[in-house]
Each structure stands twice: as C-alpha cells, then as structure tokens.
Amino acid sequence: MFLMAKTKNIATTLGIYYVALFMVWLCVEWVFHLKFISTSDPVIYWLIQSGIKEGALKIFIWLIPAFLLIRAYRSQLYITLDQMFRTKVNWFKLLPIFLLFTLYLVVGAYNIFDGTISIVPGFVWSQLLWVLFVGVTEEMVFRGWLLNATIKDASRRKQWAMVTINSLLFLGIHVPIWLFANQIDIVFSSFSFLSVIVLSFIFSWMFIKTKSILPAIVLHMYWDLLIVLFYGA
C-alpha cells in the first residue's frame, strides 16, 4: 500500500509539473513572438533568442526545477543524478547513430542541380548557443526527469509504454513554438512532426540502454547543429 501511495504521489507530481511547464512555456513563446526584438542584425537577434529564451529562461524554468525534482525523488528514479553523469559510456557503439543522423540530414541538404552541399546563407555563430542550451535543457527534463521517474523496476513492455508517452509529451512541448510561428499547419500536414516523436524514441532508448544522460544530450545537440547549419534555425 505504501508503494502504491508513493507511485501515485510521483505520478501526480509528474502531471502537475508537465502542465505547469507547458502553460508557462506557452506564455514565454507568446511573448517572444510579439516581435519585441527590434533589431535587423541576425547575430544580435539570435544572441537575444538563444541567450535569454533558450538560455536564461530555459535554465530557470526547465533545468533548475528538473534538478530539484530529480534530487527530491531520487529513491524512485531509474537512475540517480550522479549516475546519469558518471556512468561510463561506450561511445564507439553509438557511432552508427551519429552516422545515420549525418547521412540523413547532410544527404537531404544535397543540391541535385549543382551537386553541392552548403551551409545556409542565414547561419550566424550565435545560433550555436541555441544548439547548446536546447540539447541540455530538453534532455534533462524529458529523459533525466520525466522518463526517469516512470521506468524504475518496470518490465520491458512497460518501459516502452512510458517511452511512447514521453515521446508524445515531447511532441506536445513543441506545439507552442509552432503555434506562434504559424507553422503548426505545415508541421502536421507534412507529417514532419513524426521526426520529433522518432527522435524522442531514440534519445529515450539511449538513456535506458546506457544509463547515462550524456549520449542523449550530445546526440540531440548534434542533430540540432546539422539542422541549423544545413536547413536553418
């Protein structure tokens, strides 16, 4: 009975946490799409976007609460905060996934008309801050906290059920930016939203398999880096 009470308690916490995160981030995206950033300099624009929204605000709204909750519920997690950063990772075994990402995104950027692959003209160095902050904050929340809190002592079947739910939640948190950027119709009509779900499955699998958060963070950053370089932020 005590175990059931603890399970119900953490489930309630997870539900409240996600709803609160979604609502707060919805407001943040709304504010940042009011066009209050009045600069024509793309470097400065992305410094503000990356430094304030993806950096300072995501650390304050996403990362710090996730760290505190991971500490508070450490006895009910699949792996502890220390373990997810200290567990040794065999990076060589993960190379095929990095190569798959490279082939998929770089080949997709190949220009069949002139036979070239080039970085998008609008790329500026300050977009790299976005790559850095997004990978860390999103993986700590969705794998390090939300998934981590639902798979301890779970059967393989239940683990994958939790991974599926986690992927849908991960998709959901992207809706605000698509909504206010007027991209939600194209994202769903073109089925490109499926890439978010697939990526979430991959990151979750890596987290469960390696018992480390680092592979998911690094691979998330790598994917975003290729997107920024060859397709634009």
What's the pLDDT tens digit per position in 126-155?
Answer: 788 888 899 999 999 999 999 999 999 889
Q: For 172-192, what is the mean pLDDT?
A: 92
pLDDT of residue 35: 64
pTM for the model: 0.89
* Three-state secondary-structure class, residue 123: coil
User: How many whole angstroms separate alpha carbon 109 and alpha carbon 111?
Assistant: 6
CB-CB neighbours of 97 under 10 Å: 15
What's the pLDDT tens digit per position in 84-133?
Answer: 999 999 999 999 999 999 998 887 766 644 656 677 777 787 788 888 89
115-124 contact pairs (CB < 8 A, 24+): 117/230, 119/229, 119/230, 120/229, 120/230, 120/231, 120/232, 122/42, 122/232, 123/228, 123/229, 123/232, 124/42, 124/43, 124/46
Q: For 161-182, what is the mean pLDDT?
A: 95
CB 120 within 8 A of CB 230: yes
**Residues 6 or more apart in contact with residue 84 via CB below 8 angstroms:** 144, 148, 207, 211, 212, 213, 214
**What residues does each domain of the chain span?**
2-230
What's the pLDDT tens digit per position in 208-218?
Answer: 999 999 999 99
pLDDT of residue 3: 41
Quote the mean pLDDT of the chain.
Answer: 88
What's the pLDDT tens digit per position in 62-83?
Answer: 999 999 999 999 999 999 999 9
CB 135 within 8 A of CB 214: no
What's the pLDDT tens digit per position in 19-52?
Answer: 999 999 999 999 888 765 666 677 777 788 788 8
DSSP state, residue 150: T
pLDDT band with cut points at 50, 70 and 90 for residue 231 = confident
End-to-end, the C-alpha distance of the chain in Å comes to 49
